Structure 1
Amino acid sequence: MTLRPDPATGPLDGAFHDLVERRFQRLVRDNPVLATGLGLHQRDHELGDGSRAALLDELAADEAHLGAVEGLDPMGLSPAARVERDLEIHNLGMAIFDTAEVRIWERRSTALDLVGDGLFLLFARDHAPLPERLDAIAGRLEAVPAYLDSAKDRARGPQVRLWQQLEIEAAGELPGLFDEVAGAGRGVVGAAEQRRLETAARTASEGIADYRRWLEGSLTTATDDWPIGRERHD
């Protein structure tokens, strides 16, 4: 009996899905907090690299990925894969435009969003026993100072005053979360693990204090001119 090719599958479907899978694996490798949010817990103890270089590396990788996806002849794809290709091109184009052209990341500090998300996802979800999650949280707390230092490198030119003030407010609130998660270990983990957790919380708070001083210093040259302008959207 001769097997007929599945009419619902195009000859380039496999190549397209391989491209999408490789990008996904890159994103969760380079963005541990994203991976945690998606239920992938191999790197729950890490925050990742917040530096300008890391962001630009991701931009270059996405531009290369977009070129590869656009290079696939849509006539070689199944109808379903053609729709997926169109969505991939649209979504990548928007992400690349935001990073390469709008560049809010150069004028607004948002590192504390990732720090808060990285801890909250582990603390609030019960995907693993609490002692195991607290061990990962300790790792992320220990990583806070280095992550915040790396994120400062993104800033270029005058920062937007309102946006920096929002980040300063977050800097005043996050140490309370650090204390809460450290307190959750009492009576749950061993003495050594609890000492590590409390030390990590203090280390993270010190990193926040240093980062806050840097944020406050950025206000001396800050601007209230935040609109990106119509010309970038034309």
Structure 2
Amino acid sequence: MEPAGEAGQQFRKLAGEYLDHLASRHPDRATELGDHRFDDRLADHRAAALDDERRELDGFAARLAAIDQARLDPELRVDAAMLANGVQRRIFEITELREHTWNPLLANPGQALYLLLARDYAPLGERLNSLAGRLAAIPGALAAARESLRQMPKVHLETAIAQFGGTIGLATEEANAALRRATDGTGASPAVAAAVAAVERVRPAALDALAEHKDWLSARLAGDDHAGRGGFADPRIGADLFARKLALTLSASADAGAVLARAEADLERVTEEITAAAGRLGGTPREVLGRLGAAVPDEATILAFCAQALEAQTAFVRAHDLVTLYDDPVEIIDMPEIDRGVAVAYCDPPGPLEPVPGATFIAVSPTPKDWTPQRVASFYREYNRHMVHNLMVHEAMPGHYLQLQHSRRFSGATRLRAALWSGSFVEGWAVYAEELMAAHEYPGEGDPRAVRMQQLKMQLRMIINAILDARVHAHGMTEAEAMALMTGPGFQEDGEAAGKWRRAQLTSAQLSTYYVGYTEVADLASDLRERGMSQRAAHDAMLGHGSPPVGLLRDLV
């Protein structure tokens, strides 16, 4: 056998076995990706299971190291690098970060349940059987979580309590709606009736377990430390863990200090740009953004407004020949209540491994029903009509929706690229898309200068996100310092800034993906244009290899 072919065969076999491992160890993630073999299971976070997972990961790392990767073709070398990074990241999570011991959000089964109900990827009876399996696993999973969880950060406890309340609502109201759909009409088939009965049989114990766990978390928040594990943990993971996690999240040998330094320099540069742009509109940035913020969306018609924006953006991209367009189905939908209050829209694509993909959802939200009028007004000043145009560029055209259409069309020798897609590339492309449309004077409501102001404000937000990420977790930034940065140089509304402060504590390394991804995508696009490629050819080349990290994408284009 020819050696290069042997290396390729070895790697493809390894890749397939790793994906089987990933799906079986992380069933909720498999469901999200579109692999439905384990839809009736929840992940096992017990110490023994994590020890077993670690040994399996060590085995994958050793087998990968034994393959002569120089003999792999370029696409497989990218897959091999992504697999190596994925293995090392999960080992880091288990052995160093150890979130299962301090982050109560990881134990919430809500997303695992929601994924079974949100899309019609299989007949309802099949999905209800899977729902019954996951509901049956909840009492044991939550009992195991209580054994593992020690000191927890206060902000994580507060958020987990609220989210567990949402999961109880999901397991009650959304499950009831699914059961009604299953039994409506002329009567359910015997198989569907059996699935309905299975859900009804296990759901009471699951709801009791969810309520018990929520009460346990509330007692921990209140300081009722009968378990002898009192006090709150610091939500900051510290400089060493942050630097390691950032490098693994970005799939690169990223220098956390260098990322922070570039972000702070870019903050000054973009501040100068938005000041100049505001001057052309006759004011300071705060004055101009204040005027633009008065054009607020109408809650009753915001879905129609977003649909019109998507139509206009699609026509604009086609007219300016920015990138190849596809016509995969897309639906503008009401955002689920449990997701409202963070942003006015988000992109929810079908899983990249779905054999028959459905529509991409652009979920659009009115404000939560329990918000005060003042908070609603602040939210819509932030997400005014001009900003929604820019947001739809990011989420839809030519941002996430279009990029993921291209990504789905990549057909590699393994499915690793789809399962281990790079968040920094996906987010970086969407931020780059905002800049691209503004540079071509996309008019939005009729004045491209207004869109440009919002795009620059979003650039400031993106840069500040990276600064917050590093300074909160590695340099001890206080809430007052963070709020001053966001509401001052960032021109953010108080409500938006307060939400971001919570997010900076709840997550680590994720807020940096937008900024680092954008800088890498923009640099690569510039390099390709300097080589003489047309704008459309450069963009198609960048989007034509799935969603790998930009550093690896450079080897392919």
Give the TM-score normalised by the residue count of structure 2: 0.37
Letter in 2 for 1:165: E
Q: 2:104·2:160 contact (CA, 8 Å) conserved in 1?
A: yes
Letter in 2 for 1:119: L
CA distance in 1, matches of 2:154, 2:220: 8
Letter in 1 for 2:217: L
Q: 2:154·2:232 contact (CA, 8 Å) conserved in 1?
A: yes
The answer as to 2:169 corresponding to 1:176 is: yes
Instruction: Report how far residue 42 of structure 1 moved.
Output: 3.2
Partner of 1:53: 48
The verdict on how the C-alpha distance between 1:74 and 1:206 changes in structure 2, with shifts beyond 3 A counting, is: same
Q: Which structure has the higher relative contact order (CA within 8 Å, separation 6+)?
A: 1
1:90-169 matched pairs, under 5 angstroms: 90-113=85-108, 115-156=109-150, 158-169=151-162
Instruction: Report how far residue 145 of structure 1 moved.
Output: 0.9
Partner of 2:215: 213
Q: 1:162·1:224 contact (CA, 8 Å) conserved in 2?
A: no
Partner of 1:204: 206
Instruction: Report how far residue 39 of structure 1 moved.
Output: 2.5
Instruction: Report how far residue 126 of structure 1 moved.
Output: 0.6
Partner of 1:225: 234
CA distance in 2, matches of 1:19, 1:75: 16
CA distance in 1, matches of 2:78, 2:152: 40
Letter in 1 for 2:202: A
Out of 70, 78, 99, which is 1:75 matched to? 70
Runs (5+) with no aligned partner, structure 2: 224-229, 245-557
Out of 38, 43, 63, which is 1:43 matched to? 38
CA distance in 2, matches of 1:73, 1:41: 33
1:33-84 CA distances to partner (integer Å, 9 max, x unpaired)? Answer: 2232232333322224232322232122112211221232333333332232
Q: 1:52·1:151 contact (CA, 8 Å) conserved in 2?
A: no
Q: How many residues align?
A: 227
Letter in 1 for 2:130: A
CA distance in 1, matches of 2:210, 2:59: 35
CA distance in 1, matches of 2:22, 2:104: 21
Instruction: Report how far residue 163 of structure 1 moved.
Output: 0.9
Instruction: Report how far residue 142 of structure 1 moved.
Output: 2.1
**Matched residue of 1:126: which SS?**
coil
CA distance in 2, matches of 1:92, 1:168: 31
The verdict on how the C-alpha distance between 1:125 and 1:179 changes in structure 2, with shifts beyond 3 A counting, is: same
1:201-231 CA distances to partner (integer Å, 9 max, x unpaired)? Answer: 3221100112123223433313252222223
Instruction: Report how far residue 192 of structure 1 moved.
Output: 6.4
Letter in 2 for 1:128: A
CA distance in 2, matches of 1:100, 1:34: 20
CA distance in 2, matches of 1:83, 1:47: 30
**Matched residue of 1:110: which SS?**
helix
CA distance in 2, matches of 1:49, 1:105: 11
**Matched residue of 1:11: which SS?**
helix
CA distance in 2, matches of 1:42, 1:24: 12
The Cα RMSD (Å) is 2.6
Instruction: Report how far residue 194 of structure 1 moved.
Output: 4.3
Instruction: Report how far residue 199 of structure 1 moved.
Output: 4.2
CA distance in 1, matches of 2:84, 2:107: 30
1:7-32 CA distances to partner (integer Å, 9 max, x unpaired)? Answer: 9x543111122112111112212332
**Matched residue of 2:76: which SS?**
helix
Letter in 2 for 1:211: H
1:122-150 CA distances to partner (integer Å, 9 max, x unpaired)? Answer: 11111222233223212222221112112
Q: Which moved more, 1:70-79 or 1:120-129?
A: 70-79
Partner of 2:81: 86
1:168-220 CA distances to partner (integer Å, 9 max, x unpaired)? Answer: 11122211111121343136335765454334332211001121232234333
Runs (5+) with no aligned partner, structure 1: none
Larger Rg: 2
**Matched residue of 1:153: which SS?**
helix
**Matched residue of 1:226: which SS?**
coil
Percent pairwise identity: 30
CA distance in 2, matches of 1:41, 1:204: 22
CA distance in 1, matches of 2:195, 2:127: 12
Give the TM-score normalised by the residue count of structure 1: 0.83
Letter in 2 for 1:164: L
